[in-house]
Amino acid sequence: MLRPFPMLFCICAALAATSAMAQDGRDLSEEARKQYAQGLREASAMVKDRQFANASVKLDVLLAQRPREPQARFLKGVVQTEQGQDAAAIATFTSLIEDYPELPEPYNNLAVLHAQKGEYEGARIALESAVKASPDWAVAHENLGDIYIRLGAAEYATATKLDRTNKTAAGKLVLARDLIAPTPKPAAAASTSVTPKP
């Protein structure tokens, strides 16, 4: 149903510059910055190749060096999600949101995890925050629309149970269920990265 924000397939120059900033209070030498950015690229490539165990080890090393760095933390949450460690991924994305509330991607991926558990209200709250953080991000708007449909379908179902003669609610329930029925998987969405806004 919902589209998670994909992992890092490449790291642009802007991300490398952001990653080089001493967000955890430690200044890094130019060489250390380059090595850290290279480590992020390597971890991203491992995730792209679905080498999640190796990516997790690499990310742990990077996060030990710079525990507050948002890109590595986001990627760690993606790896945890892919490995079925939903509770850990939720904790990772929640912590990232607390430190960087301006980033929409962690809200989106947190919403996907909530939706997979049937927690549509939690997903709605997370996606509304993603839209607030980035009003022009289409993925968050689409996912929020999907959640609204799910919530609406639940209300239509309740209405039809309470009043079996309500043909209007029954018709709306059919339409809502048609909209949320599984569809063939689209081509992979273009990837991007999490970058804190200055």
Q: How many CB atoms lie within 10 A of CB 59?
A: 28
| Direct distance between the N- and C-terminal alpha carbons of the chain, in angstroms, rounded to an integer | 33
Q: What are phi and psi of 158, to 5 degrees?
A: -65, -45
CATH code 1.25.40.10 for 102-184: yes
Write down the pLDDT at residue 188.
40
Is the sign of the CA dihedral 101, 119, 136, 93 positive or negative?
positive
Write down the pLDDT at residue 26.
57
Write down the pLDDT at residue 163.
95
Q: Which of 142, 160, 153 is nearest to 180 (CA)?
A: 153
| Average pLDDT of the residues in 114-143 | 94
Distances (CA, A) of 134 to 15, 47, 89, 131: 18, 25, 22, 5
| Structure tokens belonging to residue 135 | 């009003």
pLDDT one-digit tens code per residue, 24-54: 545 678 888 899 999 999 999 999 999 999 9
The amino acid that residue 165 corresponds to is: T
Instruction: Return d(Cα 88, Cα 93) in angstroms, integer.
Output: 9
| Structure tokens belonging to residue 120 | 């549509």
Write down the pLDDT at residue 103.
93
Residue 46 near residue 54 (C-beta atoms within 8 A)? yes
- Helix%, strand%, coil% for the chain, nearest 5: 70, 0, 30
Angle at CA of residue 141, ends 101 and 88, nearest 5°: 50
* Residue 5 per-residue DSSP state: P
Q: Where are the domains of the chain?
A: 1-83, 102-184
| Structure tokens belonging to residue 128 | 């509304």
pLDDT one-digit tens code per residue, 154-184: 999 999 999 999 999 999 999 999 988 876 6
Q: How many CB atoms lie within 10 A of CB 78?
A: 25
SS3 192: coil
Q: How many CB atoms lie within 10 A of CB 62?
A: 23
Percent of the chain with pLDDT over 70: 78
